[in-house]
Structure 1
């Protein structure tokens, strides 16, 4: 609008100026009226001022459109950049997730292998401990058996030695007793003649010490020196000087 008014003012000013110039050179003509030309010139001047006043307004009104378009373009550009950034970020995140998944898989496999190895090592250690325990128990049992066998062998040897000793002592004592009896019998034979089974009760059978030599056996039979079973009789429980003493003690005479 300001441009249009400015154009009218310019044309009016040019027309008034031409008319003034022509009025100066051409006088007496009614066509060229100085007052009208001055009015037109003044009007064009006013229109020019109005046009000049409206021109900045028109320009200012047009600037926001340019700014709006620029802002929209900037927004579009920013939106595009943001989309590109988002796409790039999504891509990076996807790659990161992929790497994380890959790393997690590797770590899981490694952990699984380590756990399997640990379980294997644990089982092996437990088996070794079990075998060692069994071996120790067997060794302890064997040592205990050997020790018990040694103790039993020693006890048996000691018992046998004790039995042999006792047997030897008994044999020596029996031999000593037998020798003593034989000595007593020999002395009795020298001291008094042998008597018959029914000999008088006044005959005495004594040794040099005055000890009776008639044997009273466990069977309740007495044997006089010189009799058939006198030397064979070992289980003597009593000694008598006369047959009367033996019979009085409840013993009977030997048939031989």
Structure 2
């Protein structure tokens, strides 16, 4: 299913997007050495419910997972990159943490992810990898406009990741979003320009470049959800929900000034 949002629905999408961004920034500030992943999940639950919103994850049960997910946020640490199931783990100084959050409010969902290093003991290569996913995300957003194709986005993202030397997995990537979290079209993190679905005003997309330092191969944890690099290498993941407008792309998951 591909949804094209009305003007009133897009207004609601902006509210949801800001909520997702603000929750992520609040959790980032609270995620210090010693913080337990289950605490982060609890804080996310409190903020989502307190805002009158719903989690897109708690009852999420796709074919590739061992559902339902049962938690309010994905917490991926170090070699984990996608669908990180919160568990009893206390963050350590230098851990690379990815928080991925999808929320439904006013009937419209928004999805975003951030990666960052916990504490002051970060590795230079981690900062480079995180920055590369952010640049790839910006490149994908820059070409998202009416008449462009999903392949144009995929190509722009992949060009940045490839130039930086990272292998690219195309099994999981960006997606349409609207009244539900995951919709068509699927947007891989590498592709051919000029191919795929033609973008239209009112279309919402969640773009999410992610990489693993030295492999494109994933392995699934025994929890049935958490995806890790098969080599144990570090990972990074950046994501925004955008709306296609008459003039280009509008990023919906930017934090408000109060949380920046």
TM-score for both structures, normalised by structure 1: 0.20
Decide which structure has greater strand share. 2
Larger Rg: 1
TM-score for both structures, normalised by structure 2: 0.20
Decide which structure has greater helix share. 1
